[in-house]
């Protein structure tokens, strides 16, 4: 396999010194495959689709200097694929060739070949493969599917929420979380197409399209053009099920609706940050082609015409936050709107014209009638405030974050309940994605109390879905994440009361200015004594932290006496040289004999997170129709195929 | 040895080049920012210690006084006070957002300490709506560097949409005359040589000096392939 993979390199090297051997070459072939990249025709197959799911065939051709690529064809299984192949020069004698919206109805592993003809009649050809995953007709189909994604939520995040909201007595949880009650548990691997560490775009898009993509990309494969909108597409679950079964699509998030996870269920772009275009796609493609019926979250700034105070719409198709203008051949091939550079577009008015009810706050959301079939809710200009701050405001406390500006934001559980109410009106069923975005965002900030609180908010949303499933048994519930965030670890509990913690953390040193922790007394170990070893109770001393809940279901305080303590592994300060340690039984302090390899966290730096995503597997909990398929350890893309089996073929 | 010399000299030459470009732009930007006579913009030192700034020529403005609160169902609305102070001298107390902008003239400014993970989230953010873009005059080879201190910024208030280089649409800008430590009211210099800003280089801030008269956002298509 390795020798085969290097053959093109040797040929290319020969071409450098002997021009008579010059020939155009294929430098990329989509869908991605190990056959094309490494000459490996064996499983696992990188790209997989369900029968009839549409995707683009694309290749990049390196022509000889001064030559052009005049035409190209794609073959699957040796048979030329009908349709238009568009050839576009992308500079440096490279050409992008693409055939849009291909699909294949027959299960099996397929070989895809591109043949591109150069202006001097020389041919460039290469092959890859993909798999069409068969659907078996068995048992009963699920009518509805609910994806609940706790962004960045892994086992420790769940455990922390359980300890806080339910508590533990004599070694046993006083009650299970709602997600704990789901009967089936799986473990997911999360790498993206280009890294062991995924970001939220491919980490979420895999559930909607069944395939890997590079970090930052939503519903596409990578290509070699700089255009954010022309990448080879893969059809979303919502789009597929809307056109084949008439299902509706709902997207609910506590983030800006432009953010990576919500965008990954409807948009197609190589840039998760292209907010103007992504939200335009919700209306232009989501509503028109994916039967998008519910969109709830933050991000109002993208929906307000440029020039109005508070608008974030960008007058560019290439900058960060870009608007979407699709190539004509793509729009034609997929039968979608080409979009327009329209920063002054009033997208709220556009949704209302399309029949949507608009809710700008929780009061309006609560008043949405049971007959409503289309609902847009935008509750903040950017990300919504987190549940800890929303609850504090509801309890009459101080308004922090943007709560004073948007004092009537719904909780995720309230948005979830309303989304279910609206989507239920679609008789053909629905696909609903509910994201608790700030589990991740607050874990990035190493803001323990806020990410735990949002995990509780998420779990209360899971309970709403379980309640719905009980009343509507043909519903499949999948609770998972897109990746782990921050290397969260519950390592103990505080040895002291909250009052004592306040005293210690605010005490000034002998200079009366600097805090004790900062060495104001002149003793560098003061912080170590007062707030580290003096507070961190481990093993037996951690005991069982006690939190209590108010009538609203949320913790009375996140600062009880002897509270739970959390550390962060992604990536904390420590002594490290990254190499195998020569001797066992030596801790990092001792290994640093030269005192010169203190690591302050690889992600440190202004503009970067202080804690980052990790490659750790993530848990999945499933319940309802077909949930039994989701047991075991699997790649994250498998979730899509199991879900489609249940939705299209059924399950026992 | 020769190679080592080059590795030392080349970065210096690079920053010298950047500085030259910045210097060429400086005059234009300085002019565009100057709405008052330079002599009038100097801080008064009457009845104040020599190293303290005097903001009596600048009207106080709080972040919560910029937009009507709570927000309406669609866009935001400037307050009567903000509209009244538009184009006039104001001073505001707040904190630099912990971020880097490719535009070395700019930093974001908020009422409370805030960080923005621009690498991860881009423009989908949790920044307050009262976000102020502080526009500083270009100093060759320099850019603002984050400080945790509470700051007093004095300058001319500019309202209205403007596309910034990072794609973000700013609505409130403070064309900066003076920067002081809020606690001591003594002058602070926020700009430091790019050569000394390792973090800025490490996180990939490009430090693109804006061409005069253009607010065209930077093309980021090359960064996301």
Per the CB < 8 Å rule, is A402 touching B67?
no
Query: How do the domains of chain B map onto residue ranges?
Result: 2-214
Take residue B112 and report the two structure tokens written for it.
Answer: 């409370």
β-strand B106-110 against B132-135: which pairing, if any? antiparallel
Give me the pLDDT at residue A609, please: 66
The CA dihedral of A337, A339, A340, A342, to the nearest 10 degrees, is 120
A442 touches chain B (CB under 8 A): no
**pLDDT single digits (tens) A259-306:** 999 999 999 999 999 999 999 999 999 999 999 999 999 999 999 999
Give me the pLDDT at residue B148, please: 87
pLDDT band at A370 (very low <50, low <70, confident <90, very high): very high
Give me the pLDDT at residue A519, please: 52
DSSP H/E element including B140:
none
Q: Quickly count: other Cβ atoms within 10 Å of residue A55's Cβ.
A: 24
- ipTM over the 0.90 cut-off: no
DSSP alpha helix (H) spans, A540-602: 588-591
Q: Quickly count: other Cβ atoms within 10 Å of residue A442's Cβ.
A: 25
A383 touches chain B (CB under 8 A): yes
Give me the pLDDT at residue B90, please: 98
Give me the pLDDT at residue B64, please: 95
| Apex A188 CA angle, A182 and A192, nearest 5 | 140
Residue B13 has pLDDT above 60, yes or no: no
CA distance A310 to chain B (A): 5
CA distance A309 to chain B (A): 5
Residue A454 has pLDDT above 70, yes or no: yes
Coarse DSSP helix, strand, coil percentages of chain B, rounded to the nearest 5 percent: 25, 25, 45
Distance CA A463, CA A181 (A): 9
β-strand A69-76 against A79-80: which pairing, if any? antiparallel
Per the CB < 8 Å rule, is A406 touching B71?
yes
A530 touches chain B (CB under 8 A): no
Determine the topology of domain B2-214 in CATH: OB fold (Dihydrolipoamide Acetyltransferase, E2P) (2.40.50)
Q: Which residue has the higher pLDDT, B64 or B37?
A: B64
Lowest pLDDT segment from A334-348, A573-587, B198-212: B198-212
Per the CB < 8 Å rule, is B70 touching A319?
no
Give me the pLDDT at residue A488, please: 96
CA distance B42 to chain A (A): 32
DSSP, residue by residue, B39-102: GGGSPP-TTS-TTB---TTSEE--GGGTB-SS--SSS--B-HHHHHHTTSEEEEEEEE-B---S
Per the CB < 8 Å rule, is B123 touching A275?
yes
Q: Is the dihedral of CA A101, A104, A108, A111 positive or negative?
A: negative
Q: Which residues of A touch B159 (CB under 8 A)?
A: 309
Please tell me whether residue B189 adopts helix, strand or coil conformation.
coil
Q: Which residues of A touch B130 (CB under 8 A)?
A: 405
Instruction: Mention every residue, 6+ apart, whose C-beta is less than 8 A from residue A21.
Output: A11, A14, A15
Token look-up 């234009």 returns: B28
| Apex A630 CA angle, A171 and A198, nearest 5 | 85
A358 touches chain B (CB under 8 A): yes
Residue A202 has pLDDT above 50, yes or no: yes
Q: Count Cβ–Cβ pairs < 8 Å, chain A vs chain B.
A: 176
Class of domain A144-151+193-460 (CATH, top level): alpha beta
Please tell me whether residue A201 adopts helix, strand or coil conformation.
helix
Q: Which residues of A touch B224 (CB under 8 A)?
A: 216, 228, 270-271, 273
Residue A441 has pLDDT above 90, yes or no: yes
Interface test with B, best of A262, A309, A313, A605 (most B CBs within 10 A): A309
Nearest CA in chain A to B75: A310
Average pLDDT of chain B? 76
Instruction: Mention every residue, 6+ apart, whose C-beta is less than 8 A from residue A417.
Output: A464
Q: Out of A275, A304, A320, whose CB is closest to B217? A: A320
Distance CA A530, CA A501 (A): 9
Per the CB < 8 Å rule, is B171 touching A309?
yes
Q: Which residue has the higher pLDDT, A518 or A597?
A: A597
Peptide bond connecting B98 to the previous residue in cis, omega within 30 degrees of 0: no
CB A254 within 8 A of CB A152: no
A348 touches chain B (CB under 8 A): yes
Please tell me whether residue B215 adopts helix, strand or coil conformation.
coil
Please tell me whether residue A111 adopts helix, strand or coil conformation.
strand
Per the CB < 8 Å rule, is B169 touching A256?
no
CA distance B96 to chain A (A): 12
Per the CB < 8 Å rule, is B220 touching A273?
yes
Query: How do the domains of chain A map onto residue ranges?
Result: 2-132, 144-151+193-460
Give me the pLDDT at residue A365, please: 98
Integer-rounded Cα radius of gyration of chain B: 18
Q: Is the dihedral of CA A9, A10, A11, A16 positive or negative?
A: positive
A306 touches chain B (CB under 8 A): yes
pLDDT band at B222 (very low <50, low <70, confident <90, very high): very low
Integer-rounded Cα radius of gyration of chain A: 27
| Apex A83 CA angle, A81 and A85, nearest 5 | 95
CA distances from residue A149 to A41, A363, A619 in whole angstroms, order as listed: 34, 25, 11
A197 touches chain B (CB under 8 A): no
CB A379 within 8 A of CB A409: yes
Q: Quickly count: other Cβ atoms within 10 Å of residue A175's Cβ.
A: 12
pLDDT band at A76 (very low <50, low <70, confident <90, very high): very high
Peptide bond connecting B70 to the previous residue in cis, omega within 30 degrees of 0: yes
CA distances from residue A106 to A52, A130, A209 in whole angstroms, order as listed: 8, 12, 18
Token look-up 């926020």 returns: B190
Q: Is the dihedral of CA A264, A267, A270, A276 positive or negative?
A: negative
Give me the pLDDT at residue A521, please: 52
CB A416 within 8 A of CB A430: no
CA distance A609 to chain B (A): 6
Distance CA A402, CA A389 (A): 9
Residue A478 has pLDDT above 60, yes or no: yes
Lowest pLDDT segment from A41-55, A135-149, A569-583: A569-583
Q: Out of A226, A315, A609, whose CB is closest to B120? A: A609
CA A114 to chain CA centroid, Å, is: 32
pLDDT band at A504 (very low <50, low <70, confident <90, very high): confident
Q: Quickly count: other Cβ atoms within 10 Å of residue A600's Cβ.
A: 11
Distance CA A350, CA B74 (A): 13
CB B33 within 8 A of CB B175: yes
Token look-up 């945790």 returns: B148
Residue A98 has pLDDT above 90, yes or no: yes
Nearest CA in chain B to A263: B124
Lowest pLDDT segment from A392-401, A560-569, B44-53: B44-53
Q: Nearest to residue B118, comparing CAs of B130, B127, B131?
A: B127
Lowest pLDDT segment from A575-589, B26-40, B158-172: B26-40
CA distance A405 to chain B (A): 4
A150 touches chain B (CB under 8 A): no
DSSP, residue by residue, A280-307: HHIIIIIIHHS-EEEEEEE-GGGGSPTT
Q: Quickly count: other Cβ atoms within 10 Å of residue A278's Cβ.
A: 33
Distance CA B202, CA B219 (A): 20
Q: Nearest to residue A496, comparing CAs of A565, A431, A439, A553?
A: A565
Interface test with B, best of A230, A310, A345, A451 (most B CBs within 10 A): A310
pLDDT band at A575 (very low <50, low <70, confident <90, very high): confident
Distance CA A219, CA A203 (A): 11
Q: Quickly count: other Cβ atoms within 10 Å of residue A578's Cβ.
A: 6
Residue B39 has pLDDT above 60, yes or no: no
Identify the CATH homologous superfamily for domain A2-132. Immunoglobulins (2.60.40.10)
**pLDDT single digits (tens) A381-427:** 999 999 999 999 999 999 999 999 999 999 999 999 999 999 999 99
| Apex A204 CA angle, A202 and A206, nearest 5 | 65
A622 has which bridge partners? Answer: A184, A478
CA distance A170 to chain B (A): 40
CB B112 within 8 A of CB A601: no
CA distance B104 to chain A (A): 14
Residue B43 has pLDDT above 90, yes or no: no
Residue B213 has pLDDT above 90, yes or no: no
Q: Which residue has the higher pLDDT, A19 or A119?
A: A119
Per the CB < 8 Å rule, is A382 touching B125?
yes
Residue A320 has pLDDT above 70, yes or no: yes
């Amino acid at each position: 396999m390795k020798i085969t993979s290097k053959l093109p390199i040797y040929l290319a090297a020969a071409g450098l010194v002997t021009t008579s051997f010059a020939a155009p070459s294929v430098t990329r072939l989509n869908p991605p495959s190990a056959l094309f990249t490494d000459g490996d025709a064996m499983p696992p197959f990188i790209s997989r689709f369900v029968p009839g799911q549409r995707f683009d065939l694309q290749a990049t051709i390196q022509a000889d200097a001064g030559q052009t690529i005049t035409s190209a064809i794609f073959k699957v299984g040796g048979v030329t694929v009908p349709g238009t192949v568009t050839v576009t020069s992308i500079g440096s004698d490279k050409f992008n060739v693409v055939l849009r919206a291909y699909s294949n109805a027959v299960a099996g592993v397929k070989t895809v070949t591109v043949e591109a003809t150069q202006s001097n009649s020389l041919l460039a050809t290469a092959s890859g493969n993909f798999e069409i995953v068969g659907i078996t007709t068995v048992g009963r189909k699920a009518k509805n599917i609910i994806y609940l994604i706790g962004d960045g939520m892994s086992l420790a995040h769940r455990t922390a929420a359980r300890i806080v909201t339910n508590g533990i007595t004599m070694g046993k949880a006083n009650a299970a979380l709602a997600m704990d009650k789901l009967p089936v548990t799986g473990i997911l691997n999360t790498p993206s197409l280009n890294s062991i560490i995924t970001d939220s775009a491919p980490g979420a898009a895999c559930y909607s399209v069944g395939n890997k993509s590079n970090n930052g990309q939503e519903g596409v494969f990578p290509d070699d053009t700089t255009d954010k909108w022309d990448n080879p597409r893969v059809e979303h679950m919502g789009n597929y099920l809307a056109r084949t079964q008439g299902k509706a699509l709902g997207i609910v998030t506590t983030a800006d609706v432009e953010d990576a996870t919500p965008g990954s269920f409807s948009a197609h772009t190589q840039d998760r940050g292209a907010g103007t275009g992504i939200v335009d796609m919700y209306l232009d493609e989501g509503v028109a082609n994916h039967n998008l019926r519910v969109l709830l979250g933050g991000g109002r700034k993208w929906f307000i015409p440029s020039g109005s105070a508070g608008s974030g719409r960008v007058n560019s198709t290439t900058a960060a936050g870009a608007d979407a203008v699709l190539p004509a051949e793509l729009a034609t091939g997929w039968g979608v709107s080409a979009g327009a550079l329209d920063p002054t577009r009033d997208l709220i008015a556009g949704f209302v014209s399309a029949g949507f009810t608009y809710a700008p706050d929780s009061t309006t959301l609560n008043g949405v009638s049971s007959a409503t079939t289309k609902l847009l809710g935008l509750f903040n200009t950017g990300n919504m405030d987190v549940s800890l701050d929303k609850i504090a405001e509801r309890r009459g406390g101080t308004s922090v974050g943007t709560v004073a500006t948007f004092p009537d934001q719904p909780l995720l559980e309230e948005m979830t309940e309303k989304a279910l109410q609206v989507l239920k009106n679609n008789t053909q069923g629905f696909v609903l994605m509910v994201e608790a975005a700030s589990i991740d965002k607050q874990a990035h900030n190493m803001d323990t109390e806020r990410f735990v609180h949002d995990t509780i908010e998420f779990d209360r949303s899971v309970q709403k879905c379980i309640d719905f499933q009980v009343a509507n048994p043909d519903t499949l519930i999948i609770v998972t994440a897109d990746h782990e965030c921050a290397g969260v670890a519950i390592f103990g509990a505080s040895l002291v009361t909250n009052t004592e913690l306040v005293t210690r953390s605010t005490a000034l040193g002998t200079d009366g200015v600097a805090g004790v922790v900062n060495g104001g007394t002149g003793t560098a170990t003061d912080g170590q004594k007062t707030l580290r070893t003096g507070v961190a109770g481990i093993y037996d001393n951690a005991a069982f932290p006690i939190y209590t809940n108010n009538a609203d279901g949320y913790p009375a305080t996140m600062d009880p006496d002897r509270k739970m303590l959390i550390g962060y592994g992604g990536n904390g300060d420590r002594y490290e040289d990254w190499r195998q340690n020569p001797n066992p039984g030596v801790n990092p302090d001792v290994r640093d004999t030269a005192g010169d390899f203190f690591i302050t966290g690889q992600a440190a730096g202004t503009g970067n997170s202080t804690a980052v995503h990790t490659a750790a597997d993530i848990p999945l909990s499933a319940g309802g129709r077909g949930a039994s398929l989701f047991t075991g350890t699997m790649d994250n893309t498998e979730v899509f195929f199991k879900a489609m089996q249940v939705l299209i073929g059924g399950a026992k | 040895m020769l190679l080592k010399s080059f590795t030392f000299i080349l970065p210096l030459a690079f920053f010298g080049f950047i500085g030259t470009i910045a210097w060429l732009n400086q005059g234009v930007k300085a002019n565009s920012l100057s709405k008052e006579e330079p002599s009038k913009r100097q801080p008064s030192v009457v009845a104040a210690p020599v190293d303290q700034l005097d903001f009596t020529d600048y009207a106080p403005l709080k972040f919560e006084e910029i937009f009507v609160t709570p927000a309406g169902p669609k866009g935001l609305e400037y307050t009567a006070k903000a509209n009244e102070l538009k184009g006039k001298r104001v001073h505001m107390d707040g904190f630099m957002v912990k971020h880097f902008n490719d535009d070395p003239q700019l930093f974001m400014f908020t009422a409370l300490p805030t960080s923005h993970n621009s690498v991860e989230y881009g423009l989908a953010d949790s920044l307050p709506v009262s976000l102020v873009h502080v526009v500083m005059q270009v100093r060759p080879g320099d850019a603002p560097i984050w400080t945790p201190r509470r700051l007093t910024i004095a300058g001319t208030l500019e309202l209205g949409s403007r596309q910034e280089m990072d794609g973000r649409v700013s609505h409130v800008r403070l064309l900066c005359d003076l920067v002081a430590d809020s606690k001591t009211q003594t002058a602070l210099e926020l700009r430091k040589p790019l050569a000394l800003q390792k973090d800025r280089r490490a996180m990939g801030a490009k430090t693109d000096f804006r061409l005069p008269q253009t607010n065209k956002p930077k093309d980021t298509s090359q960064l996301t392939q």
